[in-house]
Structure 1
Amino acid sequence: MNGRLDGRVAVVTGGLSGIGAATVRRFLDEGAAVAAADLRTDRPFDVPADQAERLMVLTADVADEDDVRDVVDTAVRRFGHLDVMVNNAAVLGAIGPIADSDLAEADRTIAVNLRGVLLGMKHAARVMRPRRSGSIISTSSPAGLSGGQGPHVYSATKAAVIGLTRSVAAELRADLIRVNVVVPGATVTPMMADLTTGDAADLGGAAAAMTRTAWMGEPVRPQDVAETMLFLADDASRFVTGETISVDGGMTSAPGASPFLAERFAGTSAIFEGGRRTPRREKPEESDA
């Protein structure tokens, strides 16, 4: 039986954990050859023997242009071409009031979450254009669509990814290269496990904590997001470009802060207080002195 991605070649950044790992596995299941790029390649990543020859694991910092260029070029040398680029690597960055922002931390968050996506698009387009074919998929967040869904700088980068996607889609449509962005809701990943339990490996604890405030009774799984990645990678979405597709159980359909984050960070930062009204500050009385 033929897979939906037979003969296709994909690069997935942040490909060894969470949504990235689920996407790599789903693409392999559908017949693709995949280059999984990650900053941490010490994590175990086992695949069935019949898929091993179609998988290569590469160490890369997506904020470094040389690394991104090398990942794309290595995939093309090994597998012959590139059909799908998934820009998934991201960091959460610091959580806290804007007045306490650490600029070094902010710069790193911007470098990974925005510059990394820009570089992925740049080098994917470079090798896709001559073939006049390809799909570029990036990962954003509900934090990129409304306030109260994530830390300040993280939110800014995720909004920028959506804007960048629309702009690049408008350019590359003439080359028949599609460019879209996926917006996962709160998903059971190592990043969210670290946020909820303090232990990135405690996915069960994260799922339990997130279920209490999940919009459809359970949190999003990485596999749910991977199915949307698959749709955008294959020909079923051949007329879909410049789109923002949410996989969040309706999280972004209602205004207000994330109930999960509001519960987790109550009292930490007013950004997560949602609809609660802040008392009006009284002006100090003016002195005649």
Structure 2
Amino acid sequence: MPRFDGQTVLVTGATSGMGASHVRGFHAAGAQVVIAARDHEAATAFATDLGPSAFAVRLDVTSEPDWTAALDEVSSRFGPLSVLVNNAGTQHPAALIEDTPTEVWDRTLAVNLTGQFLGIKHATPSLREAGGGSIINIASTMGNVGQAYYAPYVASKWALRGLTRTAALELGRDNIRVNSIHPGVVATPLITESLDGGPAIGDLYSPAPFAVPRLGTPEEVTALVLHLASTDGAFATGAEFVLDGGLLLGPALAA
């Protein structure tokens, strides 16, 4: 029997990068997958490619009405939710705090933190109806350190750690596990492409000093997502899983 046979999984920010990888991973493992994204046209095309066990919902994660409508649609189409992957996130152009527009701060926290809060809030009744399940919040290694020029992003990811732990405490007795994954430098457009004509984030991080001296892949993050969402990860909740090739460890010994 496929690993997620009969389970319904909702992935936010699901049309590209890590989100698209997570969708494919769950779909291949037998899940009914909900592809949630602001770009409904792209999400619909993706769902069509995957077939009848996938469908698209339009979802701006910062919008509470969008979350309500999305979960209602999931319920009518597939029944209660078993897994929520809070993957949607945004980055911003590099800037010192004193040069960061307030609207950039507000937008970054709205997507990266409030969006995940709303996901937990609105998915919980559905997960409870299913008899329990798993919520996986995609954080970042920037949520473990300070990083010059990226104060809004760093702050949002630090706060997500506290949100994850609190949700795990509140939902444990409902058999709902809540964990966070902290990817390092993963080869996705968010990392490899410039936001404002300046250097891409990936350009600021040479993997040469890492213990594993390369960029990560979306599929490697997906493998951890699937583990945590499955019964293999049944004893993990409120935990933080760093997947960074050793970035946070500091420089490795030279070969």
Fold in common (TM above 0.5): yes
Query: What is residue 231 of structure 1 aligned with on the other side?
Result: 227
Query: What is residue 240 of structure 1 aligned with on the other side?
Result: 236
Is the Cα–Cα contact under 8 Å of residues 142 and 149 in structure 1 kept in the other structure? no
Distance 1:70 1:251 in 2: 39
Where does structure 2 lack aligned partners over 5 or more consecutive residues?
A: none
Classify the secondary structure of the residue corresponding to 2:193.
helix
Query: What is residue 259 of structure 1 aligned with on the other side?
Result: none
- TM-aligned CA distance change 1:209 to 1:237, over 3 Å: same
| TM-score, normalisation: structure 2 | 0.89
Match status 1:176 vs 2:175:
yes
| Counterpart residue type for residue 234 of structure 1 | S
| Counterpart residue type for residue 239 of structure 1 | F
Kindly report which structure 2 residues correspond to 1:1-289, keeping only aligned pairs within 5 A, or say none.
2-43=1-42, 46=46, 51-148=50-147, 151-195=150-194, 213=208, 215=210, 216-254=212-250
| Counterpart residue type for residue 218 of structure 2 | P
- TM-aligned CA distance change 1:132 to 1:214, over 3 Å: farther
Distance 1:211 1:99 in 2: 27
Deviation string 1:191-232 (CA, Å, 9 cap, x unpaired) is 112238959xxxxx9989966547212201000000011001
- TM-aligned CA distance change 1:28 to 1:142, over 3 Å: same
Classify the secondary structure of the residue corresponding to 1:157.
helix
> How far apart are 1:93 and its partner, in Å?
2.2
Is the Cα–Cα contact under 8 Å of residues 11 and 87 in structure 2 kept in the other structure? yes
Classify the secondary structure of the residue corresponding to 1:66.
helix
| Counterpart residue type for residue 37 of structure 1 | A
Is the Cα–Cα contact under 8 Å of residues 92 and 154 in structure 1 kept in the other structure? yes
| Counterpart residue type for residue 57 of structure 1 | A
| Counterpart residue type for residue 143 of structure 1 | M
Length, aligned pairs only: 248
Superposed CA RMSD in Å reads: 2.5
| Counterpart residue type for residue 56 of structure 1 | F
Is the Cα–Cα contact under 8 Å of residues 188 and 206 in structure 1 kept in the other structure? no
Deviation string 1:91-136 (CA, Å, 9 cap, x unpaired) is 1124211111200111111111100000000011121223331100
- TM-aligned CA distance change 1:72 to 1:151, over 3 Å: same
Distance 2:52 2:229 in 1: 21
Classify the secondary structure of the residue corresponding to 2:40.
coil
**Percent of pairs with identical residues:** 35
- Give the structure with higher Rg (CA): 1
| Counterpart residue type for residue 243 of structure 1 | A
- TM-aligned CA distance change 1:131 to 1:212, over 3 Å: closer
Classify the secondary structure of the residue corresponding to 2:194.
helix
Deviation string 1:130-156 (CA, Å, 9 cap, x unpaired) is 333110001100111011277101000
Where does structure 1 lack aligned partners over 5 or more consecutive residues?
A: 200-204, 256-289
